[in-house]
Amino acid sequence: MTVAETRGRAGTASYDSFEVTTLTPHLGAEVDGLDLAQPLDERQLRDLHQAFADWSVLVFRDQHLDREAHKAFGRYFGDLHVHPMNHSRETDPEVLIVKTTKDSPYTAGDAWHTDVTCDAIPPLASALYITETPEVGGGDTLYADMYLAYELLSPAMQSFLERLTAVHDGGMPYVGSYGSTPPEGGYPRNEHPVVTVHPVTARKVLYVNSGFTSHIKGLRRWESRALLDMLFAHIATTPRLHCPVRWEPNTLTLWDNRCTQHHAVWDYYPHSRYGERVSVIGEDRPTGPPQA
């Protein structure tokens, strides 16, 4: 069965070295048949990269990884990223701790966002390995398909957005929401097209997110706010875009940061959740579609 044949319905798609069970018809799949604690061979890597391009979010259950195996998996996609908030931490700079307890003032990612779009070259992908889940349930992560978010807009709105550039500011979440102390010089702040083109699939992506996007250049403040609020509401309130991932202990989820958003749901207070994340440095700055 080819991916093209499964695009219209959820089901099972076969690759040469493993199988995937799709989570929705357009986004997300669980991978069965890979042990990520062991090195992957060329055939497995070829299939892994193809499945990643096909489904954008890949879930691997019952994985038993130490930090080095986790990092080695991330490196199949490129060099590892150092998160801006790791500048003052004494842990491995390539590993971001994702820990929530009853004493936490917040949980990381509890809003729709794309990881670290404040960077000039945002991460290509992230791989979160969860080892502790709330014993009462909860703690899912919701993913959203930014290809489809763009495609559901009217042609007139698509054309308008393709000419715009937005500012992405790390101070918004890291200082404004998390209350962290910025490094010398502050957190990154960069501009990216409102609509980008995925470098592998060549599909158009809606590339603004409520976590980092502060405003759209060239518009009056109230115009920018109204437009962004409309787009953020479209992402958050259109169930057709969404794919929930239910965590179990020893689950690793890999997502394409270039064409998805995610929201870590904090619905398990006062229980705990623990994981570690590695991210992969992107190859180039996000680019928009050619202008006529």
pLDDT value at residue 253:
98
pLDDT value at residue 143:
98
Catalytic site includes residue 277: yes
Catalytic site includes residue 115: yes
Catalytic site includes residue 66: no
Segments of the chain with pLDDT less than 50: 1-9, 87-88
CB contact at 8 A, 166 and 194: yes
| Catalytic residue from among 113, 192, 198, 273 | 113
Which pTM was predicted? Answer: 0.92
Catalytic site includes residue 83: no
pLDDT value at residue 174:
62
pLDDT value at residue 90:
65
Q: Which residue segments constitute the domains of the chain, with CATH numbers given?
A: 3-281 (3.60.130.10)
Tell me how far apart the alpha carbons of residues 141 and 154 are, in angstroms, rounded to a whole number. 28
pLDDT value at residue 12:
67
**60-79 pLDDT, tens per residue?**
999 999 999 999 999 999 99
Q: Which of 100, 96, 59 is nearest to 266 (CA)?
A: 100
Query: Which structure tokens are listed for 102?
Result: 């009853």
